[in-house]
Amino acid sequence: MSSILPRLSATLLIFVFSSAALADECFVIGDIRKNNPSEPQGSEENPYGSLAAVEADTGCDTIIILHSRGVLDGGINLRDGQELKGQIGRSGRLPIISNTTAITNNGHGVQLAANNTITDLHIKDTYNSGVSGGNVGNLSIENSVITRFGQSEALDFLPPGVIVSPPGITLLPADDVKIRISESQLGESNSISIAIIPSAGHADIVIEEVAVRDQGHVAGADNTPGIVVIGIGASSVDLKVVNTSVSNIGSGDCNCDGMLFLAFASSAMEVLVDGYSYVNPDGDGGGSATGLEIGNFFGLGASFEATVKNSTFQGGTSTAIQIIDQAPGNNNFLTVHIHDNEIHDAAFSGIELDVGFGASFGTDILTIENNLIVNAGGSGIVIASIFEPQNVLNGLLQRNTIINSGFAGLQFVQVLGASAATLNLDAGLGGLGSDGKNRIIGSQQSDIFVDAFGAAGFNVSAADNWWGSDAGPATVIELNGATVDVIPFLTEDPEDKKKGKN
């Protein structure tokens, strides 16, 4: 008997702890016909029939939405630490929740608290945002679909005063947060898919294996990027975007960038973009739309550091990758490394750096290497200093292949009195240490174009490059005191030499 009691006690303890673990789970379903009233309310056998009912149950730490053909409408407010999970159907379909009016939850599908998790859920047809939150703590959104959000198409302000229609995911933290959005899809709407704008504290953000698709634009909105992260105030942001895609976005003449990452005011941002895919073959999105726009804007000591690599850009109405340090402001710091990307059929430039427009006394460092740029409508790579920035500007280019540019393979410009305090442009054997080996082939108007345009003259080193012929570049344009050194040039294609061709 004494030997049996300990075993019974252990069994009882296991039962008690198992029951306690299950007590915080509540179930809800969009098809009331599947309820069994003989079982406890909120159990899997007798789930709640509305989001309002499960939200009112204060014992639910984990809300499980059972799969059915019914849609749960009305949205839900989560509490701190609460998990919202869907049960995947046999066909792989996710359970659906929506919020088709502004009567509850301000029209949002899910209103976040702190430390929430959303998994295996389709949030659809929401009057305003699909998911909305502020100081979200440690937030995870995984394997979810958010579509047809912002059905109100109302116009509102996101800080810093940008007019938008309600985004699919809207996060406006003012404290330290960790945000992870992974293995999810967003789109089929006329608004931003993901908008994250920290105003204070530190934001650690990971966006991985996310697809943004089929996104349009609401008339009157300032811009509609697929994914936007903007640091404002004195916030700091660490952002990683990995294996993520944006396809078929923009309509009319909107400013619909695939992704837009900017540091405002005195914020600091560190960005890694790795394995990004941008596809916009129909050319929608307006003349200001880019595949990726990054940098400082209205910065007062803002800091922006970024690496963009292993990514592909196809089509679009403007520049594939645009880097900026712009607008009134000063003492900004920008350093960007762009390498091992492929860019095809950009309407204007393949890669472009624009500094100035009143942003002065900053330091801008740009390294561009090992990229393939094909069929840019304008120039393959552009570096432009505009409107008296008084910046230190260093640009190093090496081992890029630029084919069939509509205007120039390489374009370097100072515009309307711009006078960088230090301007170092090294595309080969210059002061920054570029080893050249760029391949500029088939440029339609100029192999390399330099123009001081009313500013003090400047010199570009572009030696030790291949220009498609053993005779060197066919057309070099030097205007208004700007000069370029292309000698010595390569008399053999480095790609052929690398492959051992004669």
Q: Per-residue confidence of the chain (502 residues) as pLDDT tens digits?
A: 334 334 334 444 433 333 333 449 999 999 877 778 889 999 999 999 999 999 999 999 999 999 998 999 999 999 999 999 999 998 889 999 999 999 999 999 999 999 999 999 999 999 999 999 999 999 999 999 999 999 999 999 888 888 999 999 999 999 999 999 999 999 999 999 999 999 999 999 999 999 999 998 998 898 899 999 999 999 999 999 999 999 999 877 788 899 999 999 999 999 999 999 999 877 666 667 899 999 999 999 999 999 999 999 998 878 999 999 999 889 999 999 999 999 999 999 999 999 988 888 899 999 999 999 999 999 999 999 888 778 899 999 999 999 999 999 999 998 876 667 788 999 999 999 999 999 999 999 999 999 998 667 899 999 999 999 999 999 999 999 999 999 999 999 998 877 776 5
Q: Answer for the pair 355, 385: CB distance below 8 angstroms, yes or no.
A: yes
**Residue with token string 């850009």:** 313
Q: Provide the CA 79 distance to its chain's centre, in angstroms.
A: 28
Rounded to 5 degrees, φ, ψ at 264 are: -105, 165
Per-residue burial over 402-415, b = 16 or more CB atoms within 10 Å of its CB, e = otherwise: bbebbbbbbbbbbb
C-alpha 28/C-alpha 73 separation (Å) is: 12
Q: Rounded to an integer, what distance in angstroms lies between the CA atom of residue 406 and that of residue 374?
A: 10
Distance of CA 218 to the CA centre of its chain: 20
Q: Which pLDDT value is given to residue 301?
A: 95
Q: Which residues make beta-bridge pairs with 38?
A: none
| 403 vs 126: CA distance, rounded Å | 45
Mark 82-117 as b/e (b = at least 16 C-beta within 10 Å): bbbbbbeeeeeebbbbbbbbeebbebbbbbbbbbbb
pLDDT of residue 199: 97
Q: Phi/psi zone of residue 114: left (φ > 0), alpha (ψ -120 to 50 degrees), beta? A: beta
Position 20 scores a pLDDT of: 35
| Partners of 126 in beta bridges | 99
11, burial (CB in 10 Å: exposed 0-12, middle 13-18, buried 19+): exposed
Residues 6+ apart with CB under 8 A from 13: none
pLDDT for the residue numbered 283: 63
Could you give the CA distance from residue 158 to residue 448 in angstroms, rounded to a whole number?
A: 41
For residue 423, what pLDDT is reported?
85
Q: What are phi and psi of 12, to 5 degrees?
A: -60, -40
Is 456:481 a contact under the CB 8 Å cutoff?
A: yes
Radius of gyration of the chain from its Cα atoms, rounded to whole angstroms: 27
User: What is the rounded distance in angstroms from the CA atom of residue 447 to the CA atom of residue 240?
Assistant: 35
Report which residue type is found at 297: F
pLDDT of the residue at 4: 34
